[in-house]
Homo-oligomer: A and B are copies of this chain.
């Protein structure tokens, strides 16, 4: 307790290396154009963070990640703590040096994986106890431990440990998890000892507008958080429910802090959420689906194993600067049919590039007060997708 009081005192006396600047809100909707400054550089918002689960965006070198246009990447605390261990990452110079990524990094708290991937998870007020999905070893994740790991990793932005529950759930369970999330967020603040790592709180509350609003209000009362996330969505609840929760939450969050929608989503999810005031996203969809031969384009998705691509000389998307679009669709199809690693590599690069181009276009549109034009243009394009 003395230790954490000292920490807080020390921190409060230091200039923060973080700042958020809201440049503009679109005249036609709630879309925001802003910038987030971190110790490893500035992130232009809205932004999409590719997921580097185990210290690598699967299949891409860091220069290839940079070439997609990505400005910030996400690392997974649960995975890195299990393997190679945060002490190894720390001994090798921290996560930035370990991955070779000198831009900003956000780490999640490990909570989502503990509640979805780990085995035999049990939650008490103190912590979540679980078994490693790799070797069954019994481990414990508390708010303090999550921050300790994230500080050892040295990410620019740490997420608080939240209590994620599977939906649908009883009102009572949702409320209980939501209240615990708020208490745990405060413990994360207290556990903080690095002034060069921001903390984002996470709004939970299931599919209840009232709970989401109450949770957001209570967390917004802590000015120590450098940003706010909306968690527990995109877990199968359907688009309408997700958008309803975003619409409930965003207006309650402080206008001068970034807003991060966790684990979302499809290109359509991104443009819908940006329209409603969300600034940051992360998702495995572009990389995961890329590895499985699905390419995103402005004309909808392309299934690259299909015969129709066999002799198609066109790139996936005209004008796309990614390494996949230096090739024909016929070549990409060949790579997948021949089980060549280069197929997943190229489609990962393409899809992550597609997402980066999408948020870059969104930023330009907002600055120009034309976000809704951009929005409708994209939606119409995606609807042109041909059925298989």
Contact = CB atoms under 8 A, between A and B. Distances in A.
Interface in A310-360: 310-311, 313, 323, 326-328, 330-331, 333-335, 337-338, 340-342, 344-346
B54 A340 contact: yes
10 contacts: A55-B334, A58-B342, A59-B341, A61-B64, A61-B345, A61-B346, A62-B323, A63-B323, A341-B344, A341-B345
A330 B62 contact: no
A115 interface: no
B55 A331 contact: yes
A313 B93 contact: yes
A331 B100 contact: yes
A17 to B, nearest CB: 25
A376 to B, nearest CB: 35
A367 interface: no
A346 B100 CA distance: 13
Interface in A210-224: none
Contacts of A345: 59, 61, 341, 345
Interface in A87-111: 88, 91-93, 97-100
Interface string A52-78: 001110111111100000000000000
A353 to B, nearest CB: 13
Contact of A92 (B56, B58, B97, B330): B330
A337 B54 CA distance: 11
Given A61-B323, A61-B345, A326-B100, A92 B331 contact: yes
Contacts of A342: 56, 58-61
Contacts of A63: 323
Interface string A5-46: 000000000000000000000000000000000000000000
A54 B336 CA distance: 11
Contacts of A327: 98, 100
Q: Which of the four size classes fits the interface of chain A?
A: 35 or more
A92 B55 contact: no
A373 B57 CA distance: 43
Top 5 A-B pairs ranked by shortest CB distance?
A: A56-B342, A54-B338, A84-B334, A59-B341, A92-B330
B54 A84 contact: no
A138 interface: no
A122 interface: no
A83 interface: yes
Contacts of A61: 64, 323, 342, 345-346
A335 B56 contact: yes
Contact of A311 (B88, B326, B346): B88
A331 B59 CA distance: 15
B331 A99 contact: yes
A304 to B, nearest CB: 13
Nearest to A60: B342
B334 A88 contact: yes
Contacts of A334: 54-55, 83-84, 88, 98
Nearest to A324: B61
A39 to B, nearest CB: 21
B337 A83 contact: yes
